[in-house]
Amino acid sequence: MKVIFSKLAKQELYDAINYFEIEFKGLGNQFKEEVKKAVKRISDYPEAWSVVKDDIRKCLLHKFPYKLLYSIEKDHIFIIAVAHLHRKPDYWI
């Protein structure tokens, strides 16, 4: 299934990649690859992750303290946020 990132989710993704790259060379790329793997899992099994609120689901990344918040639409998956787990929980609402 096609996956579309919201404008804000894309910005969160790029900000996190840049932050990790500044912290340690190559870490930003590792984060990006981990997000790609999570997107693939979501695309393959969209209903596998728990519902957070209404029809919004979350998929936790394995190696980083982040989650992808998404909704299942008629013809695509919509990524709402690339959220740090220690950030204010409902900031994305």
Give CA–CA dist 42/18, Å, rounded. Answer: 24
Structural domain boundaries, residue 67:
2-84
Asked if residue 12 is part of any domain, the answer here is yes
This model's pTM is above 0.95: no
Going edge to edge, which strands form the sheet with 56-60?
Answer: 2-5, 76-84, 66-72, 56-60, 51-53
| pLDDT over 70, % of the chain | 100
Asked if residue 62 is part of any domain, the answer here is yes
pLDDT at 87: 82
Tell me the angle at which helices 7-23 and 27-44 cross, rounded to the nearest 10 degrees: 140
For 63-67, what is the mean pLDDT? 96
Asked if residue 8 is part of any domain, the answer here is yes
Q: What CATH number is associated with residue 44?
A: 3.30.2310.20
Q: How many independent structural domains does the chain possess?
A: 1
Asked if residue 91 is part of any domain, the answer here is no
pLDDT, tens digit, for every residue of 22-53? 999 999 999 999 999 999 999 999 999 999 99
For 13-23, what is the mean pLDDT? 97
